[in-house]
Every structure is written in C-alpha cells, then in structure tokens.
Structure 1
Amino acid sequence: MNDNKMTPVELRATWGLGTVFSLRMLGMFMVLPVLTTYGMALQGASEALIGLAIGIYGLAQAIFQIPFGLLSDRIGRKPLIVGGLLVFVLGSVIAACTTSIWGVILGRALQGSGAIAAAVMALLSDLTREQNRTKAMAFIGISFGITFAIAMVVGPIVTHALGLHALFWMIAILATLGIVITLLVVPSSAHHVLNRESGMVKASIREVLANPRLLRLNFGILCLHILLMSSFVALPGQFEQAGFPPEQHWKVYLVTMLIAFAAVIPFIIYAEVKRRMKRVFVGCVALILIAEIILWGAGNHFWTLVFGVQLFFLAFNLMEAILPSLISKESPPGYKGTAMGVYSTSQFIGVAIGGSLGGWIFGNVDAQSVFLLGAVLATVWLFVSFAMKEPPYVSSLRITLNDAQGSFEKVEQRLKAQPGVAAVFIVPEEKSAYVKIDSKVTNRLELEALVASA
C-alpha cells in the first residue's frame, strides 16, 4: 500500500472543501469588475459609496476571520461552515433585492461576516493525514487562483446579460450549493485534530505579531490587496472612457489572466527550486510599481491600459503564489496556522482599505489619482521589500508522538541532531513534534523512523 496516496475520504474532503471555498470566493471577486460601472445605477450611488461596498466585505472578513477560526474548535467545523454560508446567502439575497447602494453595502457586509476560511482549513486538517495535508492545502491554494480568474471573466458576462441583481442571485445560489456540498459530500470528522500548522492558537498570536519577518510579509499582502481593490475601483471607468464598453471588459480580463497564469510558472519554479525567493519577490513589487505608473499615465489610451493591467496581473498572480509559501517558511515551528490566520486578516484589511479609499479618491478627485496613490504605496512597499532577508528554504511537519516513546526531551534532542532539521518544537500535552526541515536533506519518513526508534 502506498501510504502517501490519498484515501477516498481524503479525496472527498479535499475536493469538497476546495469547491466550497471556491464557490464562496466567487462572491467576493465576481462583483469586483462590475460594481463600479453597473452599480452607479443604484439609488444614492456615488464612487465613494461604491468603493465602500467593495471594501466593507474585507472589513467584515478581517473582523470575524480569527474569532470564527477559534470558535470552530468549540462548536464544530461543519456547523460553523454551514452557518457562515447561510449568513453569506442572506447577504447575497439582500444585495439582490435592493435598489439602493446602502442595501448593497449591507449585503456585502453580511457576505463578509460569514468568515469560514479558517474553519475550512481546520476541517481539512481533521480529515487528512499528515503526509497528505500539504497536497490538500496546495489544492485549496490553486483553487483560489483559478476562482479569481473565472470570477473576473464571468462577472461582467452575467451582469451585462442579466443585470447586477441577477449576479447577486447567482452568488446566493452558488453559496447554497456550497452548503449542500458541505452537508452531503464533505465527510464528517469524529474528532478535532489540534494541528498548529493549520489551525489558530490564541496564545500564539502575540508572538506572530511581534515577528519582524512575518510583519513584512503581512504588510506585503496588505499592500497587494489595497492595490488590487483600489485599481479595480478606477479601471472599469477608465476602460469605458477609452471607448471600450463594460460588456466587453471580460475579454481583457480573460486574455491578461491566461497570459499571467502561463507566464508566472517559470518564476515560481525559479523562486522555489533555485532558491531565489527574495529576488523574485522584489521583482514583483517593482513590476506592480511600473504597472501603477503606466495606469496613472494611460489616460484614455486603451492599449496602454491593457498593458498596465497585464503587468499588474503578472505580478499579482505570482505574489499570490509565493507569499503563502514565504509565510510557511518564515513562521517558527508550531506557529504556521496562526501566522496564516494573521496573514489572511491582513489580506482582508487590505481589501477594506483599498475599496473604501480608492472609491473616495475616485469620487472626490479622479481615477488617475487612484493609480498615483497606488504608485506611492508600491514605492513604500519596494523599500520595505529591499530590507527582506532571503527566507530559510524549509518545510513544516507535524509528527505525532506517543507515551511509549519515552522522554520527549530525548525525542527533541534526536530530531535536532538529524541533518536537515532546522528547528523543533515539542508540545507534550498535544503529543506532537513540530519540525522545520530542508526537504532536500531529510523527509517525513526518516524523521518518523527516528522518532519510533527513540
């Protein structure tokens, strides 16, 4: 038997939770390319309020992300996921039924309040074995990128054909489908696995917030999503002024996203395999700065706008791939789950700031000033990224211990003496060893054999 092959339960859990996560994220992204243009027909709408409607989703997510993750340990993963999706459906229905911008703002706030990402990852951890968990979580990460690309194309098509209200109804239906999949497809977990590599630990939050290397990365994802949201507050109107009608915008997003997906693969390989992560990271920030400068100076020139969007998507997709990897590398052993929770919260704070601030500047000044602000922020980020050190090229493992293995101190000493082991953190009450390893030197099988012989 191949112990690294996923069991049917693990496959159901991975595909089911990946689908649930993707269906929900569609609700965030499908609105992004259309709300600035089609939302202006809503009663009381203004550019500033449109920006608020985009950003308030992120604010609600940032508020509830960590508390919901901790709450899932008490009430159970599935009840929290279903409850969060029900709140999301309610918000979508309110946005679909209203004719006022304030109704859409309320609906978007409720959509964001159903923060289920941490519970999804915790349930995935419960349902997968240690040796397959990384593959399962990588699938979730890939589904995030694919969802973003689909949403940027489908959102404008559906809205042009059926209207903005129909788009929100579609989002509500997709979230309802997510509830059905959670209840009928995703396996139930008989017990909760306290895994610090995928779950939040309240006592670890302070140390994560005090880690300067993690702080730089959290600042990075904050900046990235401020730039994404603020740029897409201004971009649809700029395309329209350039003579490109809103119903055609999906064509630009489709082509630029496909090119970006294909182009980033060599850079991801270069960053990971050749261990040149900092070089690629700094290059991405520089590319975003160039993209914002091009968009700032594009005016009503259509192809210049397209070129700026293409450069932005190249850098954005690459950043979305390497930033979580950097968080994993930089987090101390046993702190990865908490570090990812703080990272996700920083991401949604960026969504909130980018949408709200971008809308305010667009409404009170002009679109060019939104891109100018983006260029200033990207410049600050570039200077911060220069101070970044090359990350340790290590992977995180959790190894289960048992009482028969005797002294945990002896196990810790033997693990630390193993070539390729960078750090070890033993949690006796959890009977777990959290280890950071260089996968080119050692692997899980070797360490498990070492622990078994201790």
Structure 2
Amino acid sequence: MLIPVFTVFAAHLQGATPALIGLALGSYGLSQGLLQMPFGMLSDRYGRKPLLTIGLLLFASGSLIGALSHSIYMMILARTLQGTGAIGSVLIALLADLTPDEQRTKAMAVIGMTIGLSFSLAMVISPAITHHYGLPGIFYLTTGLAFLGLFLLHGVIPTPKKERFHIDSEANPSLFKAVIHNKHLQRLNMGIFFQHFILTATFYAIPMILQEQLKQGHLTHQWHFYLPLMILAFIFMVPFILLAEKKRQMKPVFIGSVLVTSLTQFLLAFSNQYWLSLFALMFTYFLAFNILEASLPSLVSKQADANSKGTAMGIYSSSQFLGIFAGGALAGILYQWAGDKGIFLTNGLLALLWLFISFSMQPHAYLSTLIVNYPANLKRGEDELIQHLKKLPGIKEIMLAPEEKVLYCRLDKAIYQSGSIEKVLQEFS
C-alpha cells in the first residue's frame, strides 16, 4: 500500500535523504526475501497457525512503529520489521492442508487473482488515505488488518486435521541446488527480480512527479490518476493473456511485454512533464506489467518438474522480494545522483538486459498440473501403475507421492482425455 505515496511523505521525516528513503522503501523486501522459505519450513515442524501468529504480530509491530516514526531511521526499522512477517509460504502450506488435493491448483489460482486485485485496489486507496491522514494512516490501517488477520486465523479458519509436506507448494532444501542450476528457471527468477526492481524504482519517482502535477493544477487527487489507469490496464490485459495461453503464443507475448516495459521506461525519462503523456506511458507500462505478472508464475510452474514445483516457487518468490529491495535501495541512490531521469534510464537498460535473456527462452511447454488421489492398497505395484499412466495420450510426466497418496500429473490438455487417469486407477484399485 505504500509504494504510490511513500517517497512524497517520507521526505518530511527527520534525517531523510533520497538514498535513505529508497532504503526504507526497499528494506521490507530484504527481510521478506530472506525469511519466506525459512518460515514455511519452520511451519512444517512447529505448525501453521503458530508461525502465522508470529508473522502477523511481527508485521503489526512494524506497522505500529511506522505509524509513530518521526525519523527516517525509525522508518527503516519499521519497514524491515514489517518484512520479517514473511508468512506467504506458510499461508500457501495452510491452504494446501485445508484444500482437497484435486482442488489445490484452482485454490492457488484464486489466491493469485486475489493478490493481483489487492495490489490494484491498494494503488487507488493509498493516495486517498494519505490525503486525509498522512503516512501514519496507512500504517494504522495495516496494523488493524494484521489484527483482523489474527482474528480470522483463530476464530474463523479451521485447524487442519493433519499438517503434511506438499511437494507442489512447499520448498524442499534438498532440491535447492538442482532448482537454482536449472537454466530455464534461472531466466524466470531473473525476470521476476527485474520486474519488481523496475516497479519499485518507478514508484520511487512517480509519486513526486504526480505531486508536481497536483501543484500545477493538472490533478486534484493522485487516486484520480491511478483509478482509471488500473481499470484500463486490467481490462486490456485479458486479450493478451488469452492469446498467450489459449492460442499458445506465450513467447511472443512475453517478449513483447518486456520490450514495451523497456520502451516506456526510456520514454518516461524524457516525457513525464505532462499528465496526458504520463498517463499514456503509465497505462502502457502497467499493461505490460500485468501481462508479465500473470505469465511469470505460470511459466515457473510449467517449467519446474512435478517434484520440485514448490521449491521452484519458493525461490521465485524470494527473487521477487529481493528485486523490491534492490529497486528501492538503488533508486534512492540514482535519484540523489541523477534525478528521476537516472531511475528511468537504468530501468530501461535493465529491461533491455531482461529482453536479451528472454530471447533464449525455450518454446513454452503448454502443460497443466493435475493432482489425483490414488488408493492406499493397489492390486499391482506403483511402478506398474506409473508405466500404464505414462502410456495415456497427453501425459508428459507422472510423479507419485506415497506420503500424500496422490499423483502429480503434468499433461497437455489439448491431447489428454478427461477422466482417463481415473479409469486406470479403477483398474488398479
């Protein structure tokens, strides 16, 4: 909620300099990036709800300190403490515990959509809140939301009957080396790092540019700028996502979006003085951003092996938060040295590097993951079951998880005949 407004209000804190403001903006990402996977692994040992409770209390503490901060150093502490509440991986694990195996993929998709909508809503609400209550208003709101989360956690959300490790949604330390050295996943991890570096750095500069527009009378409120921007970017994103997934044009759509990201950043360096050109460029940037934000996790889940999907997503998530940290910290230094032009030119060059890396992407494998329960007592062996399933049209990979009693199947929906796996399982049960 802070990125649309933070740099304007943080400038009034005691001891604030552009570099320290950038560090405060990005420090949340550093602690999030470092603690996401450890929190998830600790929840396997000590339970989901205890770790979620600790994380929410840490986030609430950081938010309260942020609301009471009068110096930039207290703000850096507050933002870092907020980030230590790194419960994203624990929430995913809890969702996996509470959701039937065959519905887990849909549940994860709903979570992803909710996060995207929350981001868009925050972009509009934050300027309206700070207009009336200043920066403390945002921090008091997030403190309240953290305590609301605690109430829902202990008063509404059920406790799982059994908590177990899920290979598709949790990180496995024994697979870190293999996943980190996977060249296809390396490209995607670098991509999400660049994506959120550019986003955070962009929103170091944009709030101050909009503040100038307000002073000149071109805008009355910042949210008047963000509301139509977010709505239009979301609407225009949909045809491109359909083209990428349904028409199987992922690589050209992806590369085109990275190219547009680079071009808009270069143009923002020289054409941000007028609100109309600023709106057009930010709309184009957010259109590309939304396409990439929807495509990147989909690509990770499809490139990762069935047994390493959770680990791949954990490393991907950490790369995203580290991009937020680097983007905020470096943007402050760049602004102090070369103003907003330095930020946008650096963003444009990084996007060009990302474009170069993306050209070496393999043609996208249009595979989906299907999770199917299998009976505890099989008439024939598990190896024989896997061999039978691999012969089915459209099946590309089968992985059996004995602890969970589920099959993780990667398949091509265009070829696979619905229900054929279940028929084979009936023969073996």
TM-score bracket, normalised by the shorter chain, equals: over 0.9
- 1:139-150 correspondence to structure 2 within 5 Å: 139-150=110-121
Is 1:448 matched up with 2:422? Answer: yes
- Contact kept, 8 Å, 2:26 with 2:329, in 1: the verdict is yes
Cα deviation, 1:405-433, whole Å, max 9, x if unaligned, reads 13111011011111110112234455443
- 1:208-357 correspondence to structure 2 within 5 Å: 208-242=179-213, 243=216, 248-357=221-330
> Residue 100 of structure 1 is aligned with which of 41, 48, 71?
71
- Contact kept, 8 Å, 2:31 with 2:83, in 1: the verdict is yes
Find the aligned partners of 1:427 and 1:207 in 2 and give their Cα distance: 19
Q: Which amino acid aligns with 1:451?
A: L
Q: Residues 452 and 210 of structure 1: is their aligned pair in 2 closer, same or farther, counting only changes over 3 Å? A: farther
> Residue 136 of structure 2 is aligned with which of 148, 156, 165?
165
> Residue 150 of structure 2 is aligned with which of 179, 185, 194?
179
Tell me what 1:397 maps to: 370
TM-superposed deviation, 1:223: 0.4
Is 1:417 matched up with 2:417? Answer: no
Find the aligned partners of 2:60 and 2:247 in 1 and give their Cα distance: 45
Q: Which amino acid aligns with 2:281?
A: G
Find the aligned partners of 1:344 and 1:245 in 2 and give their Cα distance: 38
Q: Which amino acid aligns with 2:421?
A: L
Tell me what 1:87 maps to: 58
Q: Which amino acid aligns with 2:331?
A: G
Find the aligned partners of 1:184 and 1:417 in 2 and give their Cα distance: 48
Cα deviation, 1:199-227, whole Å, max 9, x if unaligned, reads 22221222111111111111110000000
- Contact kept, 8 Å, 2:167 with 2:310, in 1: the verdict is yes
* Higher deviation after alignment, 328-337 or 390-399: 390-399
Cα deviation, 1:285-324, whole Å, max 9, x if unaligned, reads 0110111011011142222222221111101111111111
Find the aligned partners of 2:191 and 2:295 in 1 and give their Cα distance: 11
Runs of 4+ in 1 over 6 A off after TM superposition: none
- Contact kept, 8 Å, 1:294 with 1:305, in 2: the verdict is no
- Contact kept, 8 Å, 1:59 with 1:352, in 2: the verdict is yes
Give the superposed CA RMSD: 1.6
Find the aligned partners of 1:41 and 1:90 in 2 and give their Cα distance: 22
TM-score relative to the length of structure 1: 0.90
SS at match of 1:298: coil
> Residue 47 of structure 2 is aligned with which of 60, 76, 81?
76
Tell me what 1:195 maps to: 166
Work out the number of aligned pairs and report it: 425
Q: Residues 204 and 35 of structure 1: is their aligned pair in 2 closer, same or farther, counting only changes over 3 Å? A: same
Cα deviation, 1:76-99, whole Å, max 9, x if unaligned, reads 111111110110000000111121
Find the aligned partners of 1:430 and 1:128 in 2 and give their Cα distance: 13
- Contact kept, 8 Å, 2:218 with 2:275, in 1: the verdict is no
TM-superposed deviation, 1:400: 3.2
Tell me what 1:366 maps to: 339
Unmatched runs of 5 consecutive residues or more in structure 2: none
- Contact kept, 8 Å, 1:260 with 1:314, in 2: the verdict is yes
Find the aligned partners of 1:402 and 1:389 in 2 and give their Cα distance: 37
Find the aligned partners of 2:337 and 2:46 in 1 and give their Cα distance: 46
